[in-house]
Amino acid sequence: MRKTLKELPRNTKARVVDVAPGHAISVRLVELGFMAGEWVEVVHEAPLSRDPIVVECAGTRIALRRSEASLILVDDSPECSGVQS
């Protein structure tokens, strides 16, 4: 199912579909490896508010707020997440 990275539950693998353009960090997110087809997983959530989150993507751990995570569209359909990277 398609959703933004903001809504992706912890410890669930998903594939990046797209990064919304236009935000100050859109380009930087792509540079850090958020590209279509790349595997991502939320590996940590901050205490209490569960925001920001730590996302593992292309072998890199990136901390970002959920508001920025909402720029990243992902797909966690079973046929996607069933395949191990």
Partner 1 sequence: MSGSEKVLVALVGHPNCGKTALFNALTGLRQKVANYPGVTVERVESDLRSDLGHPLRVLDLPGAYSLNPQSEDEKITHDVLLGGMGTDVRPGVLIVVLDATNLRLHLPIALEVRELGYPICVALNMIDLAEAAGMQLNVKALEEALGCRVIPTSATRKDGLVPLVEAAAKLASSEFDASKIQWAPSTREQIILRRKSVEDILRRTVVVPGHPSLFTTRVDRFLLHPFLGPLALLAIVFLVFQAVFTLGAIPTDWIDGVISNFASWTRSQLSSGMLSDLLVDGIISGVGAVLVFLPQILILFASLLILEDSGYMARAAFLMDRIMGRVGLSGRSVLPLVSGFACAIPAIIGSRSIQSPAQRLATILITPVTTCSARLPVYTLLIAAFIPNTVVAGLFGLQGFVLTLLYILGAVSAFVFAGLLKAFNLTGAGGYFLLELPTYRLPSMRTVLRGLLDRARAFIVRAGTLILSIMVLLWAMSTFPRPPEGATQPSINYSLAGKLGNIVAPLLEPIGFNWKISVAMIPGFAAREVLVSALGTVYAVESENSEDTSALTEKLKADWSLPTALSLLAWYVFAPQCLATFAVMQREIRSLRWTLLSFTVLLVVAWLAAFITYQVAGRFL
By CB under 8 A, residue 44 contacts partner 1: yes
By CB under 8 A, residue 12 contacts partner 1: no
Cα separation of 14 and 56, whole Å? Answer: 11
Q: How many residues bind partner 1 (CB under 8 A)?
A: 32
User: Positive or negative, the Cα torsion across 12, 47, 21, 58?
Assistant: negative
Stretch that binds partner 1, among 1-9, 22-30, 75-83 (CB under 8 A): 22-30
Work out how close the CB of 7 gets to partner 1 at its nearest, in angstroms, rounded to a whole number: 18
Cβ(84)–Cβ(10) under 8 Å?
no
Nearest to 22 by CA among 75, 60, 76, 70: 70
Stretch that binds partner 1, among 1-9, 46-54, 76-84 (CB under 8 A): 46-54
